[in-house]
Structure 1
Amino acid sequence: MKKFAFLFIMVTSVAIVNAQDITDALRYSSDELSGSARVRSMSGAFGALGGDISSITINPAGSAVMLTSEAGLTIGNYNTQNENTFFGNNTSDTKDQFDLSQAGVVLVYNNTDQNAKWGRMSLGFNYENSNNYSNRNFIKGLNTNNGIDKYFLAYAQGVSLENIDLLPNETVDDLYQWLGENYGFAEQQAFLGYQAYIIDPVSSDNLNSDYNSNAYYTGLDQEYTLETKGANRKFTVNFATEYDKKLYLGINLNFHSIDLKKETYLSEIGFDADSPLQETGFKNYLETYGNGFSLQAGAIYKATKNLRLGAVYQSPTWYRINEELSQGVFGISIDENGNEYSPDVVYPNVTNIYEAYKLTTPGKFTGSLSYVFGKAGLLSFDYIRKDYSNTKFRPVNDAYFSTQNNQISNSLQATNSYRLGGEARIERLSLRAGYRFEESPYKNESTVGDLTGYSFGFGYNFGATTLDLSYDIAEQDSNYQLYSVGLTDSAAVNSKFQTIMLSLNFKI
């Protein structure tokens, strides 16, 4: 593709409302397993434990369990493997990324008054990669149902020909930009399909608003690639305190940051010999960035010397999100004698900069218990309740957002998640393992299935310094829909998510 300098334009809300859907809502509402290698090796079952810097993002009271000030960081590798089935054809793809997963510090202040009910206090700061978007997927198959022509037709019907036909001396960039500024996303898609000769008007009348496809086929060889980069990152400010050496209380202020780059490309061949259209390619590049805020309040209670109970409430996260989109399409066509025309390449030198929108993701409740076997080890269990149907695009009185919110409410559900972790200590060496299960957020689990994961790891305590290593793997089935309209066929995807993390913590 030829490189261009971008022309930046503001697109009205008419355009942006076609960009957000239930998939986006779920993406920014979901949390991966995160934290230090010790936390991850026990599958995140730390709600009643504390004592680890990154555990404060699970239960804010956890920092008050720590006896001394500590600092630490975690680095590691994220690996995603996808196995796809599309119209009976199997493909696979994988992507690795090395990144800083977590870094933080907890400062502990001990009350020297032995008779005081309020004991030590702690102040913590933590950064973590709470959701890694590094992913790549390759889908291929012989589609006997739909082609990309159906996508462009869905948007073109009802659009006046005079709006998408180039005037003398008018460029592709000029008209694509004008459509975005004055009409919106649908008209831009109609324009792309028409200019690439994928669709044609029924009549040449300027007021024509009915279109036909130039694609004839009984089956199309389609190749679809998806690549995403970026992360949802969270910075936490924590305060916690101990009361009567049994009760630990804490609060978090969480500052969230979204950075997502998503690129898709579809190519099609295999059209009938008499089809005016013989080959297509369609590219979209979306950048999403935004910020959010949430609160957490938590408690840990020592019911007995060995038994601990934990409870945490996390508020909804309130996001403000921006998106930028660039796209292009090409078509190769032939005349009635089978002679090939020059390719119709329509790559507007324009980036659509949409108005910011707001998203409120659901809060969640975590209940935990753990049993500590003295210096020999421990077992810990977390239960998490989260209602994804409470996710909301805002403003809620916007007609399009209202439709999407109704779809979210009807399609998503409250979920239960379970995490179990254990640790065995042999002098300075700790051996760890964990299991987690997360219910599908969809009422129809064929869209996205349940997630099951396992984790393992070990750590060594050098005294003032600890070194921890973890490995975790999770698996989930889903159906990935290529486009929201027209070409709506789905690929069955089996995804495996693996991470290897290394943490270094030291007392300060």
Structure 2
Amino acid sequence: MRFNLNILYSALFIFSLSFISKAQNVNDALLLSTEDLQGTPRFTAMGGAFGALGGDLSALKVNPAGSAVFALNQSSFSLDFNTFSNDNAYRGTMRSSDDNSFDVNQAGAVFVFKSNNENAAINKFAFGVNYERTSNINNAIYAEGQNNQSIGDYFVNKANGIALDYFTLQNNETFFSRYDDLLYEYGFSGQEAYLAYESFLIDPIDPSDLQGNSYQSNVNSTDLRQAYNENYDGNSGKISFNGALDINQRLKLGMNVNATFSDYTRFTRFNEQNSSSTGVNKIVYDNILDVQASGISLDFGAIYNIHDKLRFGVSYETPTWMSVSEKISHTLRTRGDGFGSATADPEIFNVFPDYKYKTPGKWTGSLAMIFNKNALLSIDYSRKDFTQMKFRSNGFEAQNTEINDMMQVSNRINVGGEYRIDNLSLRAGYSYVESPYKDDFTAGDINRFSAGLGYTFGMTRVDLSYVNSNQERNVMMKQSGINSPVNVDNQLHQISLGFAFMF
């Protein structure tokens, strides 16, 4: 084993390349393709079941024909408080993690133009603009437990096949330049292997053979205490430009043009310790992935009044065509017998060229029943084929194959009702979302229960809602090579307060 004093390698450098494995994986890509139950408090309280109802700014994302239901101009904005708790089980040890966030969830307005001609085929035209957060990506997992499989084996697998000569500094060569060269020669995996070599986590089996490409871990224990942190921080949102027509007071047609965005950071830390008096006895491996994406999509919808008390709606959301940029950095720290501690920290962001990504489209069918002016009941059914997620740039063939192997059609059912007592409205809803994964292991179905109320003061309405969401998942420890998953039971509590103004 090699011995040295504490080491710190640092450099500042940002670059692009087009021929290495991208940092994005299928699970991360799914974040760009999913939507939470977000919107106005009236919308969320009723489970998002607004496809045939319309008359709410958040309803426009379900069916753009819904703006033609408005009788008056209306503006609204909504504030949102989210708190989540995760129960994380890893190899028999249970740990909990929680966090909360506060944000503007929705803001928009719709303008209604009515025809003065009673005999006109088009009775009404509506135009709307609405911003809405589509997904709250914030999440945190913390797990720890005993294991006999070391992360050192992960780095050995990354290094095997790379000649020792590539890890050996030549005349006038620096850690940074060698790190750079390895990226071009062996991609991000080669850089990971180099960090492990420089921090004494791995050694060549034959140190005298510069062409040798076999390595071994310097972890000399199978009694390992491991801890894993995974933190997501970010949001996805959408700005919709809407137009709709009311034809003969029976058929409503609408369309949205959507500008979407997503911005999030994923931080992971893997910590491993053992009590061995020889070799490496502590490892800390940090990874940061930063993702920014923007795209465009279209929505088309229709609502038909079968009669005054029954409406039918149908809508289609096209795929979102996105441009995605990402960068990744990593740091490896070790401590062990003979060398003290070592840090391989290039402080480099590998900035990848932007690539193209397509989300799946979605069909929605809706039915709403209006019981006089005091009560209503609505149901939506949506179908989204997640096998149609696609990385559209070259070099993603493996990821697209993985999508076809892992993903499936996800069905969604939203049910909601409202009952009015004078100026007070009482609401409740339920939403079921089928897992987009073929197996039940990666992520389970989502169940959401919601309730809320609203009160009208003349031309102003105040709304409040509460949503409880539950899902179970199994999370693999990213970039660790550890086969044992973390079982996560996620509970999300969402409180929304909104104001609507008619004018």
Residue equivalent to 2:52? 48
Structure 1 residues 168 and 328: CA distance shift in structure 2, 3 A:
farther
Distance 1:103 1:202 in 2: 62
Distance 2:9 2:183 in 1: 21
Structure 1 residues 165 and 3: CA distance shift in structure 2, 3 A:
closer
- After superposition, give the CA deviation of every residue in 1:425-474 in whole Å (9 maximum; x if it has no partner): 00000000001111111111111101111001000111211110000011
**TM-score, normalization: structure 1?**
0.95
Distance 1:304 1:3 in 2: 73
Verify: 1:482 aligned to 2:482, yes or no. Answer: no
Alignment check: 8 A CA contact 2:425 2:454 kept:
yes
Residue equivalent to 2:112? 108
Residue equivalent to 1:371? 369
Residue equivalent to 1:338? none
2:416 aligned to which of 409, 418, 421 = 421
2:165 aligned to which of 159, 162, 165 = 162
Any idea what SS the aligned residue of 2:340 has?
coil
Alignment check: 8 A CA contact 1:14 1:183 kept:
no
Q: CA deviation at 1:181?
A: 4.3
Q: CA deviation at 1:390?
A: 1.2
Distance 2:497 2:189 in 1: 47
Residue equivalent to 2:360? 362
1:445 aligned to which of 440, 443, 456 = 440
Residue equivalent to 1:220? 224
Residue equivalent to 2:203? 200
Any idea what SS the aligned residue of 2:103 has?
strand
Any idea what SS the aligned residue of 2:427 has?
strand
Unaligned runs of 5+ in 1: 336-340
Distance 1:168 1:442 in 2: 51
Distance 2:206 2:135 in 1: 50
1:257 aligned to which of 261, 264, 271 = 261
Verify: 1:33 aligned to 2:28, yes or no. Answer: no
Alignment check: 8 A CA contact 1:77 1:501 kept:
yes
Any idea what SS the aligned residue of 2:444 has?
strand
Distance 2:83 2:330 in 1: 28
Alignment check: 8 A CA contact 1:61 1:299 kept:
yes
Structure 1 residues 439 and 131: CA distance shift in structure 2, 3 A:
same
Q: Counterparts of 1:291-306 in structure 2 under 5 Å?
A: 291-306=294-309
Runs of 4+ in 1 over 6 A off after TM superposition: 1-5
Q: CA deviation at 1:5?
A: 7.8
Q: CA deviation at 1:3?
A: 12
1:323 aligned to which of 311, 322, 326 = 326
Structure 1 residues 344 and 355: CA distance shift in structure 2, 3 A:
same
RMSD: 1.7
- After superposition, give the CA deviation of every residue in 1:133-156 in whole Å (9 maximum; x if it has no partner): 111111111122x22212212211
Length, aligned pairs only:
496
Residue equivalent to 1:84? 88
- After superposition, give the CA deviation of every residue in 1:269-316 in whole Å (9 maximum; x if it has no partner): 125333x11101011111100111111100111101100111010111
1:314 aligned to which of 313, 317, 320 = 317
**Amino acid of the structure 1 residue aligned with 2:42:** R
Q: Counterparts of 1:395-410 in structure 2 under 5 Å?
A: 395=393, 398=394, 400-410=395-405
Alignment check: 8 A CA contact 1:365 1:384 kept:
yes
**Amino acid of the structure 2 residue aligned with 1:273:** S
Unaligned runs of 5+ in 2: 1-6
Q: Give the percent of matched residue pairs that are identical in Structure 1 and Structure 2.
A: 36
Any idea what SS the aligned residue of 2:32 has?
helix
Any idea what SS the aligned residue of 2:298 has?
strand
Residue equivalent to 2:4? none
Any idea what SS the aligned residue of 1:64 has?
helix
Verify: 1:150 aligned to 2:153, yes or no. Answer: yes
Residue equivalent to 1:118? 122
Any idea what SS the aligned residue of 1:298 has?
strand
Alignment check: 8 A CA contact 1:54 1:104 kept:
no
Distance 1:306 1:388 in 2: 35
**Amino acid of the structure 1 residue aligned with 2:33:** S
- Greater shift, 174-183 or 424-433, is seen at 174-183
Distance 1:496 1:265 in 2: 23
Verify: 1:14 aligned to 2:19, yes or no. Answer: yes
Residue equivalent to 2:3? none
Verify: 1:186 aligned to 2:189, yes or no. Answer: yes
**TM-score, normalization: structure 2?**
0.95
